[in-house]
Amino acid sequence: MQTWVAPGRVNIIGEHTDYSDGYVLPIALPLVVRCAAEATSDGFAQVSSRQRPGAPVRAALTELAAQRDRLPDWARYPLGVVAEFVRRGLPIAGVELMLDGAVPIGAGLSSSAALSCSVAIALRDLFAPKLSDRELIDMARAAENDYAGAPTGVLDQSAAILCTAGHALFLDVRRFAGAETGSAYQQIPFDLARFGLELLVIDTGQPHRLVDGGYAERRAQCEAAAAALGVPALRDADPAAVERIGDPVLRRRARHVVGENRRVLAVVEKLRAGADPREIGPLLTATHDSLRDDFEVSTPALDTAVATALAAGAHGARMVGGGFGGSAIALTDRERTATVASSIREAFARNGFEEPRTFVVVPSAGAHRID
C-alpha cells in the first residue's frame, strides 16, 4: 500500500464567508489524516480506521449511493469520495482504504475535510492522475455535501489541497468557482517566527458537528439576506443597504459576512506589504466579536478562551471554524505563549469547563503522497 496525507486547517480570517462567494485566508496544519490505499479488482470499496475499531466497512461500488443511509456516519466521508469518483465515470475497479487521523475530531479544524481529501488525492493518484486540483476539491466537497450531509463551502477542501508551507492561502471563492483557478488564489507569506510570534490553538473540548442544524441554518439565513437585498450573494452587498434589512436576524447575519470580507482583504493587504503580523491582531478580535454578536455561533467556552487570551497579552484572538463549539486561536509573542495557554486552562477550571487542549501551529503543506 502507498500512503497519502491531507492536513487539517485553521482559518486565520474569513469565517462563514465561503458559501456567500466571499474571501478566506486559511493555513494548513501540521496535523494530518493518513490514508493508505491500494487498488483492487473485486468491485468493492473497503475502509477501516484506526480511530474506529471494529470490522472494516465494505460496499459494492455499484451500490454506494443506495447504501449511504446504512453506513456508519464516519464511513460516509471516505466512501462518499469513492462514490463521487464512480458517479463521474472514473475507472475504479475496487479499492481498499486504511485511515489514521491526528486532526482532533469536532475541534473546528476540518478533520472531515482532511479525511475526505486524503482519500481524494489517493484515488486521483491511483485511478485518475489527470484530474486537476480544482476538480479534486469539487469532488471532495460534493462527497461531504451530498453523501455525508455536511453543507460546507469549499474553504476546507481548498485549504487541504492547495495550502503551502510558510504561507496562508488567500482564496476568492467566487473566482475559484469559475474556470481560472490560477487567478483565484494566492499564497501569502505568513512567517510568524520571523517576528517572534506564534499562533496558539485552543481546543475547548466541546465538539461541533456541521451536520447538525445550526450551520445549515446560518447558510440559509445568508441566502435569505442576499435575496432580501436583491444581490446574488452577500459578497455583493453594500454595508449601508445591509442596515436597511427589515428582519433583524438577517440583518445581523449579513452584517457579519460583509464586515468579514472587508477584514480578510485588510489582513491580506497588511501581510502582502510585509507588515508586522501583530497589526492583524485587532482584526482577528473584531471577527470574534462579529461571530459572537452578529452571527451567534460562539459559546461561553470560546468567549472565555478569547477574553482570557487577550487579557494575558495576546495581540488578537478569535473562535475558528463553523462554531457552536470547537477551537479558538490566539496570536501571541513567543515568550508569552505558555503564559496565555496557562491562563486559559486556569480560566476554564474556574468556569467548570473541560480542560482545553492547547498547541502551537505553523503553516504547513497541503495534501501529498508520503511513500
Query: Where in the sequence numbering do the catalytic residues fall?
Result: 156
Residue 111 backbone phi and psi in degrees, to 5: -65, -35
- CA triplet 101, 133, 87: central angle to 5 degrees? 80
Name the grid cell of 363.
503553516
Name the grid cell of 70.
446504512
Spatial contact of 16 and 258, defined as CB atoms under 8 Å apart: no
CA nearest to 108, candidates 28, 203, 24: 203
Name the grid cell of 9.
486547517
**Chain centroid offset of residue 182 CA:** 21
Residue 273 has a CB neighbour count (10 Å cut-off) of 8
Burial 31-52 (b: 16+ CB within 10 A, else e): bbbbbbbebeeeebbbbbbeee
The enclosing H or E element of 319 equals strand 316-320
Dist. CA 213–CA 129, nearest whole Å: 37
Name the grid cell of 219.
447558510
Contact partners, residue 129, CB within 8 Å, separation at least 6: none
